Amino acid sequence: MQRFGGKKAFAELSYAEWREILDVTLDGAFHCTKACLPALSKSGAGTIVNIGA
pLDDT(1) > 60: no
Q: What are phi and psi of 5, to 5 degrees?
A: 65, 20
Predicted confidence band at 8 (pLDDT cuts at 50, 70, 90)? confident
pTM for this prediction:
0.62
Predicted confidence band at 37 (pLDDT cuts at 50, 70, 90)? very high
Q: How far apart are CA 46 and CA 40, in angstroms?
A: 6
